[in-house]
A and B are shown apart, each in its own frame.
Chain A
């Protein structure tokens, strides 16, 4: 009876051990869910691209998912075509440039569909993100009307070439840290897809060169940027003291007055001290 009881306990303990090992294995295999954020951006003077960010919630903390390979595909009515892949950096970010945007396939409604996919790894589950883009063209120009310069932007649908009306466009001039808005925060395109704002005549620029930008950021067209350079700014006069003799310049550019005054002071005092030292010799000889 007693031996039966012990054997039962041993079997129960062994069973618990096996169960705990299995649970541990399951826990070890538990993967985190990655999240993808995708933004489409089209530079009229450059490329169309995706700005992708991969993140995850691990141990109640938001972390960047770095070093994962993402596949970018053009989704059509017939299926999808892989157009390339990219890998996230240490911040979990990457930029994928769409080479030859003109060769991309649209759906029946004239919308470009893309899918960014991560196939999963030991740590994170498989995840994908889709994005639909309508292609627009934005053309910025600087025009002079009655001696006043205006920044003009024309927004058209790239497929139909028709003007896009009622869309918000922001007009800006490029600055060192952040663009400066020209006029209102945004203007709405008229029936011709045009917005226009006067440019102040006191904006400084190197040699008077300014870079103006028209920007739209909508749900359908996403971000489209058009920029144009114009030499209509106030030339910046460089006020550098680099070659001058200042208190903050290198040793070979010490201010002359300081050089004279301090050297006179030093040589004056040390001349007296040398004379006084010579007095010691005079005492010894007298």
Chain B
């Protein structure tokens, strides 16, 4: 590995290039469009969507479940792989934490969007019951967000001190901010001890909370007696799916960052190879749970379950269903078993496919079930039996996705995406005075 000067120079945050500025502009345009659509929703209510008595949860809730799923990556990489002392995980921890924070922030906001009038949030505190999974979800999401913020910040403290020095002359204003955020880090034994014990505690704590957030989110469905959701297996099914989505998210973002920030020496082919293998394993586990979720109801074949499954297998949702199952779960497994498909570009493509598939998978969990209830709703217009999201609904949803990407983009702009201090420690690179010319 190179010397300390080069390391810091490589990993310090950089200003956006042309591509970065275009990307930022694109995200802002999408966000502006979604603000307009959301204004329409605030003005006229949820009537601007196609949400009705049947499909009372639509793409907003699918999107919420997707964000919750993606956020699990924080615990997967930062906690599980780090605690397991997986040596190649270090460069990916911060990327995973950044994705987790962006996803969990947007998950919370998406729920508020789904409420229609945002002031309804107060009803949770006024009328909420501790017996309700909705309250558990609110509590566990807030807790997970706080843990994720701490887990992002603690390992950043030594890096902030490094960046304070690095930007001292280059950008005094930025240096001042990094200095404040470095909390007078000098690398003393006491500081190191507090830092490491805190990170270790957080890494352990985030695992049950992360499992909690996904299990509780699954219980929002499983505790509602409906075809397709009436399962005791929903907790692990959601966790397995979240791991797939999160791993796909990391594979996608790490490729983009590697290319745009020129990090080939830090995010190597080995990382893509390992992430490829990890995705194969996670997809297989998730496929196993999918077989459970579809085979057993199909075997029992009660009238309502049969209607629901018919819609999935051969009916209205069949194209999406088989594309998700074969395109985003079976295909990645078949391809990434071979080494040639675990190279950066194929893993990136697989990552994108897995993430897109993960979004549609949540749509398939939420919508078809709502359209086939055990007890049909009487005297409703025929159009309420189907669900076709409106343009405004899609625009708002696109806005939340753009907002998540914007959070990631801004964090990448101002934070080192690869932990400088940890990489230096792992590679025994001695911290020296930074060379201005480096």
Which residues of A approach B to under 8 Å, CB–CB? Answer: 246-251, 254-255, 258-259, 262, 266, 269-270, 272-273, 276-277, 279-280, 282-286
B319 lies within 8 A of chain A by Cβ: no
Residue pair A279, B194 in contact (C-beta under 8 Å): yes
Partner of A284, one of B136, B139, B183: B183
Give the docked Cα–Cα distance between A157 and B170 (Å): 114
B302 lies within 8 A of chain A by Cβ: no
Give the docked Cα–Cα distance between A249 and B154 (Å): 42
Known contacts: A276-B150, A283-B183. The answer to whether A269 contacts B143 by CB under 8 A is yes
Q: Could you say which residues of chain A place their CB within 8 Å of the CB of B136?
A: 262
Chain A proximity mask over B156-188: 1 for CB below 8 Å, otherwise 0: 010000000000000000000000000111001
Give the docked Cα–Cα distance between A272 and B206 (Å): 12
- A252: nearest residue on chain B (CB-CB)? B129
Give the docked Cα–Cα distance between A33 and B380 (Å): 32
Q: Could you say which residues of chain B place their CB within 8 Å of the CB of A248?
A: 131
Q: Could you say which residues of chain A place their CB within 8 Å of the CB of B190?
A: 286
Q: Could you say which residues of chain A place their CB within 8 Å of the CB of B26?
A: none
Residue pair B128, A251 in contact (C-beta under 8 Å): yes
- A280: nearest residue on chain B (CB-CB)? B183
Give the docked Cα–Cα distance between A266 and B139 (Å): 8
B192-225 interface with A by 8 A CB criterion: 194-195, 197-198, 201-202, 205, 209
Partner of B185, one of A251, A255, A283: A283
- Nearest first, the 9 closest Cβ-Cβ pairs linking A and B are A284-B183, A251-B129, A286-B190, A254-B130, A279-B198, A247-B131, A283-B183, A276-B198, A279-B194
Residue pair A284, B131 in contact (C-beta under 8 Å): no
Q: Could you say which residues of chain B place their CB within 8 Å of the CB of A249?
A: 131
Q: Could you say which residues of chain A place their CB within 8 Å of the CB of B154?
A: 276, 280
Give the docked Cα–Cα distance between A286 and B131 (Å): 44
Q: Could you say which residues of chain A place their CB within 8 Å of the CB of B183?
A: 280, 283-284
Known contacts: A279-B198, A286-B190. The answer to whether A251 contacts B205 by CB under 8 A is no
Residue pair A250, B143 in contact (C-beta under 8 Å): no
- B143: nearest residue on chain A (CB-CB)? A269
Partner of A283, one of B146, B147, B194, B205: B194
Give the docked Cα–Cα distance between A254 and B136 (Å): 14
Residue pair A286, B191 in contact (C-beta under 8 Å): yes
Main secondary structure of the interface of A (DSSP, over half): helix
Q: Could you say which residues of chain A place their CB within 8 Å of the CB of B202?
A: 276
Question: In the complex, which of the residues B130, B139, B147 has the most CB atoms of chain A within 10 Å of its own CB atom?
Answer: B130
Residue pair A269, B209 in contact (C-beta under 8 Å): yes
26 A-B pairs within 8 Å (CB atoms) are namely: A247-B131, A248-B131, A251-B130, A258-B130, A262-B130, A262-B136, A266-B143, A269-B209, A270-B143, A272-B205, A273-B147, A273-B150, A273-B205, A276-B150, A276-B201, A276-B202, A277-B150, A280-B154, A280-B183, A283-B157, A283-B183, A283-B184, A283-B185, A283-B191, A286-B191, A286-B194
Q: How far is the CB of B196 from chain A (nearest CB, A)?
A: 11
Which residues of B approach A to under 8 Å, CB–CB? Answer: 127-131, 136, 139, 143, 146-147, 150, 153-154, 157, 183-185, 188, 190-191, 194-195, 197-198, 201-202, 205, 209
Q: Could you say which residues of chain A place their CB within 8 Å of the CB of B129?
A: 250-251, 254
Partner of A272, one of B127, B131, B194, B201: B201
Give the docked Cα–Cα distance between A250 and B129 (Å): 7
- A286: nearest residue on chain B (CB-CB)? B190
Give the docked Cα–Cα distance between A284 and B190 (Å): 11
Give the docked Cα–Cα distance between A276 and B151 (Å): 10
Residue pair B205, A258 in contact (C-beta under 8 Å): no
Give the docked Cα–Cα distance between A262 and B140 (Å): 11
Q: How far is the CB of B164 from chain A (nearest CB, A)?
A: 14
Give the docked Cα–Cα distance between A277 and B154 (Å): 10
Known contacts: A283-B183, A283-B195, A284-B183. The answer to whether A251 contacts B188 by CB under 8 A is no
- A263: nearest residue on chain B (CB-CB)? B130
Q: Could you say which residues of chain B place their CB within 8 Å of the CB of A266?
A: 139, 143
Question: Given contacts A251-B128, A285-B184, could you give 10 more A-B pairs where the C-beta distance is less than 8 Å?
Answer: A247-B131, A251-B129, A251-B131, A262-B136, A266-B143, A272-B205, A273-B150, A273-B205, A279-B198, A282-B194
Q: Could you say which residues of chain A place their CB within 8 Å of the CB of B139?
A: 266
Partner of B205, one of A250, A259, A269, A286: A269
Q: How far is the CB of A88 from chain B (nearest CB, A)?
A: 22
Q: How far is the CB of A283 from chain B (nearest CB, A)?
A: 5
Q: Could you say which residues of chain A place their CB within 8 Å of the CB of B195?
A: 283
Q: How far is the CB of B149 from chain A (nearest CB, A)?
A: 10
Give the docked Cα–Cα distance between A277 and B153 (Å): 10
Partner of B143, one of A273, A279, A285: A273
Q: Could you say which residues of chain B place their CB within 8 Å of the CB of A262?
A: 130, 136
Partner of A273, one of B128, B146, B185, B197: B146
Q: Could you say which residues of chain A place their CB within 8 Å of the CB of B194?
A: 279, 282-283, 286
Partner of B131, one of A258, A270, A279, A283: A258
Q: Could you say which residues of chain B place their CB within 8 Å of the CB of A269?
A: 143, 205, 209
Residue pair A286, B188 in contact (C-beta under 8 Å): yes
Give the docked Cα–Cα distance between A283 and B183 (Å): 7
Question: In the complex, which of the residues A248, A258, A280, A285 has the most CB atoms of chain B within 10 Å of its own CB atom?
Answer: A280
Residue pair A284, B198 in contact (C-beta under 8 Å): no
Give the docked Cα–Cα distance between A249 and B185 (Å): 52
Residue pair A255, B184 in contact (C-beta under 8 Å): no
Q: Could you say which residues of chain A place their CB within 8 Å of the CB of B150?
A: 273, 276-277
Question: In the complex, which of the residues B154, B157, B194, B209 has the most CB atoms of chain A within 10 Å of its own CB atom?
Answer: B194
Q: Could you say which residues of chain A place their CB within 8 Å of the CB of B205?
A: 269, 272-273
Give the docked Cα–Cα distance between A251 and B125 (Å): 11
Q: Could you say which residues of chain B place their CB within 8 Å of the CB of A280?
A: 153-154, 183
Give the docked Cα–Cα distance between A282 and B154 (Å): 12
Residue pair B131, A254 in contact (C-beta under 8 Å): yes
Give the docked Cα–Cα distance between A284 and B186 (Å): 10
Q: How far is the CB of A225 from chain B (nearest CB, A)?
A: 31
Q: Could you say which residues of chain A place their CB within 8 Å of the CB of B143?
A: 266, 269-270, 273
Q: How far is the CB of A71 from chain B (nearest CB, A)?
A: 35
Q: Could you say which residues of chain A place their CB within 8 Å of the CB of B131?
A: 246-249, 251, 254-255, 258
Give the docked Cα–Cα distance between A181 and B197 (Å): 77
Q: How far is the CB of A269 from chain B (nearest CB, A)?
A: 6
Give the docked Cα–Cα distance between A250 and B128 (Å): 9
